[in-house]
Amino acid sequence: MDTTNQNPVMFPAAQEFHLSFRVSNLAESTRFYEHFLGVAPKQSTARFSTFIVPHLCLNLVILVNDRGEALDTYSLYHVGLGVKDRAAVIESYHRAMAAGAEIVKPPRTTWRGTPLHELWLRDPTGYNIEVYARLTDAELAEMPADQEPFFLVPGTEPK
């Protein structure tokens, strides 16, 4: 079999990731994503808002729910956003709090599964957003024997 034209990388020079989903309240979701992403919509109409986020290589479009039915936020389990480091996860937490997001899991370092610094929140429609940073080798070396999560913002630990 000739494999000379096969490329194991399907998108070797991708420039942007495009994500589009429906929201229950376009105005509320537009405000949330503007604050959370730190950019104003490039275009906003009565039917959609488009966010171009160069530092994330992201083109996000949120659309009105024009069926009048409840949106299924179960099917889209979550959208993950990988950030540079632990400090960026903590900064995202403060941005999310300022945007009025529901915090599902406060910023913490987890060791089980894929070790990460992570934050889980919900947008106004109820979609889960995971903000995470992979651990450095030095951070991995700090793993506690019990592998219990370490909360990154004082006062966010479970009571």
Q: What is the pLDDT of residues 23-78, one digit of tens each?
A: 999 999 999 999 989 999 999 999 999 999 998 889 999 999 988 788 888 788 88
The C-alpha R_g of the chain, in whole angstroms, comes to 18
pLDDT in tens, 142-159: 999 999 999 999 999 988
Write phi, then psi, for 140 (nearest 5 degrees).
Answer: -60, -35
Q: Is the pLDDT of residue 109 over 70?
A: yes
Paired with 133 in beta bridges are: 117
**What is the SS3 assignment for 120?**
strand
Average pLDDT over every residue of 122-130? 93
Each residue's pLDDT tens digit, 69-105: 888 887 888 899 999 999 999 999 998 998 888 999 9
- Alpha carbon distance 19, 61 (integer Å): 6
For tokens 């960026």, name the residue. 88
User: CA-to-CA distance for 116 and 85, rounded, in angstroms?
Assistant: 10
Diameter of the chain measured on Cα atoms: 62
Q: Band of the pLDDT at 6, cuts 50, 70, 90?
A: low
Q: Tokens 């589009």 label which residue?
A: 20
pLDDT at residue 8 above 80?
A: no
Beta strands in the chain (DSSP E): 17-23, 43-44, 48-53, 58-64, 79-82, 102-110, 116-122, 128-134, 150-151
Determine the straight-line distance between the first and last CA of the chain, rounded to whole angstroms: 61
Note the pLDDT of residue 56.
87
Note the pTM of the prediction, 2 decimals. 0.83
* Number of alpha carbons in the 13 Å side-chain half-sphere of residue 121: 25
